[in-house]
A and B are shown apart, each in its own frame.
Chain A
Amino acid sequence: MTSDTWHQRESHSFDRNAIAEIRRAANTGIYRIRGWGAKRVLPTLDDLVFLGASMSRYPLEGYREACGTDIVIGERNAERPVRLDIPVTIAGMSFGSLSAQAKEALGRGASAAGTSTTTGDGGMTEEERGHSTKLVYQYLPSRYGMNPDDLRRADAIEVVVGQGAKPGGGGMLLGQKITERVAEMRTLPEGIDQRSACRHPDWTGPDDLAIKIIELREIVDWQVPVYVKLGAARPYYDTALAVKAGADAVVVDGMQGGTAATQDVFIEHVGIPTLAAIPEAVRALRELGVHRDVKLIVAGGIRSGADVAKALALGADVVSIGTAALIAIGDNDPAYDEEYRALGSAAGFWEDFQDGTDPAGITTQDPELSARLDPIVGGRRLANYLQVLTLETQTLARACGKSHVLNLEPEDLAALTVEAAAMAGVPLAGTDWIPGK
Chain B
Amino acid sequence: MSTTIDLAEVSLRHLNEMLHDAEDGVFKILNPRGAHAVACGMTAGLVVEVDGSVGYYCAGMHQVGTVVVRGNSGPGLAENIMSGTVRTTGNASMSAAATGCGGLVVIEGDAGARCGISMKGVDIVVGGSIGHMGAFMAQAGNMVVLGDAGADMGDSIYEATLFVRGEVESLGSDCIEKEMGPEHLAVVERLLETADMTASPGDFRRYGSARQLYSFHVDDIDAELAADAGGAK
Contacts and interface: CB of A to CB of B under 8 A. Distances in A.
B221 A27 contact: yes
Q: Of residues A28, A148, A202, which shows the largest number of chain B Cβ atoms within 10 Å of its Cβ?
A: A202
B76 A203 contact: yes
Contacts of B41: 148, 218-220
B218 A187 contact: no
B22 interface: no
B36 A211 contact: yes
B214 A29 contact: no
B55 interface: yes
A30 B61 CA distance: 38
Contacts of A174: 216
Contact of B56 (A27, A188, A201, A208): A208
B118 A142 contact: yes
Interface in A140-192: 142-143, 146-149, 151, 174-175, 186-189, 192
Nearest to A151: B61
Interface in A204-236: 208, 211-212, 214-215, 218-222
A298 B219 CA distance: 39
B95 interface: yes
B139 A201 contact: no
A22 interface: no
A29 B223 CA distance: 13
Contact of A221 (B20, B36, B159, B220): B20
A201 B217 contact: no
B118 A143 contact: yes
A118 B145 CA distance: 39
Name A's interface SS: loop
B40 A189 contact: no
Contacts of B107: none
A197 interface: yes
B158 A211 contact: no
B36 A187 contact: no
Contacts of B114: 201-202
B80 A222 contact: no
B99 interface: yes
Nearest to A196: B137
Nearest to B156: A195
A21 interface: no
Nearest to A170: B137
A192 B118 CA distance: 16
B71 interface: no
B176 to A, nearest CB: 16
Interface stretch (B9-17, B124-132, B199-207): B9-17
B216 A27 contact: no
Contacts of B61: 147-148, 151, 219
A193 interface: yes
Contacts of B40: 215, 218-219
Interface residues of B, number: 46
A212 B99 contact: no
A197 B214 contact: no
A30 B217 contact: yes
A175 B218 contact: no
Contact of A193 (B36, B60, B216): B216
B122 to A, nearest CB: 11
A186 B12 CA distance: 32
Contacts of B140: 187
Nearest to A222: B13
A192 B219 contact: no
Contact of A218 (B13, B120, B159): B13
A175 B219 contact: no
A187 B12 contact: no
B27 interface: no
A175 B118 contact: no
Contacts of A211: 36-37, 55-57
A27 B37 contact: no
A222 B82 CA distance: 21
Q: Of residues A29, A148, A149, A193, which shows the largest number of chain B Cβ atoms within 10 Å of its Cβ?
A: A148
A215 B60 contact: yes
B79 A202 contact: yes
Nearest to A33: B216
A26 B55 CA distance: 52
A30 B218 contact: yes
A385 B218 CA distance: 40
Contact of A175 (B60, B117, B121, B215): B215
Interface in B34-69: 36-37, 40-41, 43, 55-57, 60-61, 63
B101 interface: yes
A148 B82 contact: yes
B98 interface: yes
Nearest to A23: B222
A222 B216 CA distance: 42
Contacts of A218: 12-13, 16, 37, 40-41
A142 B136 CA distance: 11
B99 A193 contact: no
A208 B75 contact: yes
A148 B63 contact: yes
A277 to B, nearest CB: 29
Given A30-B217, A146-B99, A148-B82, A214 B158 contact: no
11 contacts: A29-B217, A143-B98, A143-B118, A187-B101, A201-B114, A201-B117, A202-B79, A215-B76, A218-B12, A218-B16, A218-B41
Closest 10 CB pairs of A and B: A219-B41, A202-B76, A202-B95, A143-B99, A29-B219, A148-B61, A215-B37, A201-B98, A187-B120, A192-B214
Interface of B: 12-13, 16-17, 20, 36-37, 40-41, 43, 55-57, 60-61, 63, 75-76, 79-80, 82, 94-95, 98-99, 101, 114, 117-118, 120-121, 136-137, 139-140, 158-159, 214-222
